[in-house]
């Protein structure tokens, strides 16, 4: 009588080995996800949104000292939007490009801008500025001047404490690198900027 011999079933890994393989797979998966997340965060920060800290009071009450905001670096760089009157922009200070300033665009290329006793006139029309409370206005004047091509006239919202285009004139388009879009700190001021 032939006796048949069956091979023993393959040995299943010991519970410790199964746990070790599972932990290794989990660690590799977690590391891959973390790496992907870091790469995406770097891309977003370098090319699209950048967190910045506001220093000073020149944009009060819209922005306050030590507030944290995101600026969109993508929107102007790739022509997705044009710089518009009323935009809050971040730019290299024309007199010292190691410094960045944040101001509101008031005059566009070709506009004639004048300030009479604190009231801004653009092309002969008084500009409505609901973002400048009465207590932050000043009473300075500036004779009419025409904004050059590819330049912008910018002012801080806190007119009595802002170093802006009234003093050093306009900002070249190439110096503007972002639009302020969102306050993320402190939490009680979190929200979109206008």
Q: How many Å apart are CA 113 and CA 147, to the nearest integer?
A: 7
Instruction: Say which residues have a Cβ less than 8 Å from residue 52's Cβ, sequence separation at least 6.
Output: 68, 69, 70, 71, 90, 100, 102
Q: What is the DSSP string of 74-101?
A: HHHHTTSS---TT-EEEEE-TT-TTSEE
Is 58 among the residues known to form the active site?
A: yes
Q: Which of 20, 62, 100, 103 is catalytic?
A: 103
**Candidates 58, 62, 162, 165; catalytic one:** 58
72 - beta bridge partners? 49, 179
Spatial neighbors of 58 by CB under 8 A, at least 6 apart, are: 102, 103, 156, 157, 158, 161, 162, 163, 164
Structure-block tokens of residue 80? 């997705």
| Catalytic residue flag (residue 20) | no
Residues identified as active-site: 58, 103
């Amino acid at each position: 009588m032939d006796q048949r011999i069956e091979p023993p079933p393959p040995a299943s890994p010991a519970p410790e080995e199964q746990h070790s393989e599972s932990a290794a797979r989990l660690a590799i998966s977690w590391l891959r996800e973390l790496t992907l997340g870091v790469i995406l965060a770097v891309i977003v920060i370098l090319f699209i949104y950048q967190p910045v800290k506001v220093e000073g009071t020149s944009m009060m009450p819209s922005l306050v000292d030590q507030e944290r905001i995101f600026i969109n670096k993508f929107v102007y760089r790739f022509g997705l939007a044009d710089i518009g009157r009323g935009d809050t922009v971040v730019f290299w200070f024309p007199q010292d490009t190691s410094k960045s300033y944040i101001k509101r665009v008031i005059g566009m290329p070709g506009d004639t801008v004048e300030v009479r006793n604190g009231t801004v006139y653009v092309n002969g029309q008084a500009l409505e500025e609901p973002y400048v409370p009465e207590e932050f206005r000043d009473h300075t004047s500036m004779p009419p001047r025409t904004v050059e091509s590819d330049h912008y006239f910018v002012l801080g919202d806190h007119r009595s404490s802002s170093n802006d285009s009234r003093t050093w004139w306009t900002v070249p388009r190439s110096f503007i690198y972002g639009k302020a879009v969102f306050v993320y700190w402190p939490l009680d001021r979190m929200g979109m900027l206008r």
